[in-house]
Amino acid sequence: MEENILGAILSNFDDSALDAIGQQTGASPNQAKAALASAIPILMNALAKNSSTPDGAEALQNAISRDHDGSLLDNLGGFLNNPAVANGAGILRHVLGGKQQNVVNYISSDSGLSGASVGKILEIAAPIVMGFLGRKNSTGGGGGMIGSILNSYLRKESDESPQSQGVINQILDRDNDGNVADDIAELGMSFLGRLLRK
């Protein structure tokens, strides 16, 4: 059975970790967990899109091999006390590009958090996702491991939650017009709520 990657990443966040995120972002622990549960699948999908070409896959593999060995997850508390050291903002620029505001707007609308708080949570989530992939890469022998992990994740999510994948595609594919949340709301569902019911 394929691994539940979202669950595996979220399992790193115990109560003290969520408290630390709350102190950094102004979110309650429950809001922090909810925002992470929304941010992580979006980041995974964006990484999968970026690595769908040979050049993109090579760039991601090189970045993870060079800078993200997974050791961040071994000292999560230290990272959360000073998340800026991992350059989450830089990772987001590479991963989301011009779609970053779409992602912030949607998670803010769905979680009730301010855009500033969501932005900080994304900056925390991005290095953690990269670290998770780096750890998988180091234990799986490298090569095309990252692409395989991302493709497997997309297949599983598309099979189990096609509607949620449609929401993510809307967020990542549409032009920036400031109305992402309104457009997605027309689908008649809460992506975040589906995740938290898992």
In sequence order, what are the residues at sequence separation of 6 or more whose Cβ sits closer than 8 angstroms to the Cβ of residue 54? none
Residue 19 has pLDDT above 90, yes or no: yes
Q: Which domain holds residue 139?
A: 5-196
pTM of the model: 0.83
Q: Pinpoint the alpha helices (H) of 53-114.
A: 54-67, 76-81, 88-96, 100-111
State residue 174's pLDDT score.
Answer: 65
Q: How many domains does the chain have?
A: 1
pLDDT in tens, 94-130: 999 889 998 999 899 888 899 999 999 999 999 999 9
Residue 194 has pLDDT above 50, yes or no: no
pLDDT in tens, 40-97: 999 999 998 888 888 888 888 888 888 888 889 888 989 998 888 888 999 999 999 8
Q: Exposed, middle or buried: residue 63 (CB in 10 Å: 0-12, 13-18, 19+)? A: middle
